[in-house]
């Protein structure tokens, strides 16, 4: 029994969580999502995210938040209410150059991705 418990703990400590709906390509600053399986509207929203959001930060920050359910910098929960709050924050940032429809598209995409990731 002790051997089973130790083996289980080692496996749990080294296993990575797989998110069937989130196909991630690359690592670190080059991390991005593979949107090939997304519905057409979400593919278009992803194009907006890739064009607008990376002006200020990498997609890694967003992907990690979606995968873990925790915002990497603040440590706060990253859920549907957080995506809305971040959308409002980005809309108010003068350097974001994001319109209301672009922010809505990005928030819709993040909510879709949270659903796909089981968050």
| pTM over cut 0.85 | no
Q: What are the residues whose beta carbons fall under 8 Å from the beta carbon of 109, sequence distance 6 or more?
A: 42, 45, 46, 48, 49
Burial (Cβ within 10 Å: 0-12, 13-18, ≥19) of residue 108: middle
Residue 96 is predicted with a pLDDT of: 86
Alpha-carbon distance 49 to 52, whole Å?
5
Residue 117 is predicted with a pLDDT of: 87
Residue 78 is predicted with a pLDDT of: 95
Residues 34-85 have pLDDT tens digits of 999 999 999 999 999 999 988 888 999 999 999 999 999 999 999 999 999 9
Higher pLDDT, 11 or 21: 21
């Amino acid at each position: 029994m002790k051997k089973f418990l130790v083996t289980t703990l080692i496996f749990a400590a080294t296993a990575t969580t797989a998110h069937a709906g989130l196909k991630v390509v690359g690592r670190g600053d080059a991390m991005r999502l593979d949107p090939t399986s997304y519905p057409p509207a979400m593919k278009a929203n992803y194009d907006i995210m890739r064009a607008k959001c990376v002006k200020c930060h990498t997609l890694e920050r967003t992907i990690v938040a979606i995968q873990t359910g925790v915002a990497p910098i603040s440590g706060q929960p990253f859920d549907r209410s957080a995506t809305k709050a971040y959308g409002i924050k980005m809309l108010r940032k003068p350097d974001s150059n994001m319109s209301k429809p672009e922010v809505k598209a990005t928030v819709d995409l993040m909510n879709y991705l949270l659903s796909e990731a089981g968050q």
